[in-house]
Amino acid sequence: MTATILVMLYILFPALVIYLCYRFPRINKIGAVVICYISGIILGNIGVLPENFYSVQEPLSEVSVVIALPLLLFSMDVRKWSRLAGKTLLSMLLATISIVIVAITGFFIIKPYVSDAWQLSALSIGVYTGGTPNLAAIKTALNVESTRFIIVHTYDTVISIIYIIFCITIARRVFGILLPPFVKASSNQGAEGDTDGLETEQIKAYSGIFGRKFLPGLAAALGIAVGIVGLSVFLGSLMPKDCSTSFIILSITTLGIGASFIPKIRSIAKTFQFGMYVIYIFCFTVASMANFKMLVNIDVPIMLFIVFSIFGSMVLHAVLCAPFKIDTDTFIVVSASAICSPPLVPVVTDGLKNQEVLLSGLTTGIIGYAIGNYLGISIGLALLNFF
């Protein structure tokens, strides 16, 4: 297969995945990200890629991340965050504090057994405050080796499934020991189920994304995203070489958030979905760089670190919520939005049979997208340089 054909495959394959998820509900239950990862691993390990193709894969994965970031952030409405109930925002703050504490603690525990353990802490802080886009950005910013990245994300996917099952089955009873029950509001002020205008990763939101109705706006958004990346790269070139990549990622994040304050940019339809499409390109590309033999041999310290990060941060989050009397359902849905990102929030609220906390979960998850890069990169670099 020629390099040109392979690059086109990397770019177009996510479109096929989205179509299959949209067409077949059972495939959608697996999820586009998981399908892209599995397909990429297969492609990279069946011997069809040319030798030295890494020189094409690596730039493609890095470009896809930096282009996706501003696209994901354009549709955010930061001013809406202030409309959330005080305890919801407080719960999000406590969830963030919890994963930071647990990730740093985990760093000191596994440091003797895992090289570059600081990268694991950075990745876990990014993904468990935001989601896959943060994980991808931090991978690029901190030069995390591709196979390690795939191992972390694979373990995260498996453990997160167990975590979600726990959330929708017995979590309410378990944490009800510490936290008060949710009190349902009357059907007035600010019903949480009203999600109009809130961007999501649900597969139906991709309908018609590249049709005539949305294409001109997305082309403009892409141009703005490229401009933000170009400016950030220029500014990064003025920084010391050892921190330029991290600066570029944080600059892109900041400028992307800044652009969301401009109504004309924020109102461009489907920018979030377009950004996630580019993230799927990243997932497919970086997975094809992984060595399957390294994946099948379970790395016990890394696996235990992921388990500790997810469930340890959840327990600490609950303990911190207790003095503030944050109710069980708000705690669970905010925890899920931080650890698993917005797409799985509806799954949790449906399992809890409580749609009143849906908007809280979705919105706090989007806040996580915004802050995950700052926290993950800064704390990871601090652990590297001081410990």
- The reply to whether 194 falls in a domain is no
Write down the pLDDT at residue 168: 85
- The reply to whether 204 falls in a domain is no
Domains: count for the chain: 1
Write down the pLDDT at residue 188: 41
Q: Domain of 269?
A: 3-182+211-386
- Only one residue has tokens 């492609």, namely 43
Mean pLDDT, 10 residues at a time, over the chain (387 residues)? Answer: 85 93 87 84 87 85 86 78 73 95 96 94 93 84 88 85 87 94 61 47 79 92 96 90 76 88 92 88 84 76 95 97 94 92 72 78 80 92 92
For residue 301, give the CATH number of its domain.
1.20.1530
- The reply to whether 165 falls in a domain is yes
- The reply to whether 79 falls in a domain is yes
- The reply to whether 146 falls in a domain is yes
Write down the pLDDT at residue 191: 41
Three-state SS letters, the chain:
CCHHHHHHHHHHHHHHHHHHHHHCHHHHHHCHHHHHHHHHHHHHCCCCCCCCCHHHHHHHHHHHHHHHHHHHHHCCCHHHHHHCCHHHHHHHHHHHHHHHHHHHHHHHHHCCCCCCHHHHHHHHHHHCCCCHHHHHHHHHHCCCCHHHHHHHHHHHHHHHHHHHHHHHHCHHHHHCCCCCCCCCCCCCCCCCCCCCCCCCCCHHHHCCCCCCCCHHHHHHHHHHHHHHHHHHHHHHHCCCHHHHHHHHHHHHHHHHHHHCCCHHHHCCCCHHHHHHHHHHHHHHHHHCCCCHHHHHCCCHHHHHHHHHHHHHHHHHHHHHHHHHCCCHHHHHHHHHHHHHCHHHHHHHHHHHCCHHHHHHHHHHHHHHHHHHHHHHHHHHHHHHHHC
- The reply to whether 189 falls in a domain is no
Q: Which amino acid is it at 52? A: N
Write down the pLDDT at residue 186: 47
- Summary mean pLDDT of the chain: 86
- The reply to whether 196 falls in a domain is no
- The reply to whether 199 falls in a domain is no
Provide CB contacts within 8 A for 62, sequence distance 6+. Answer: 140
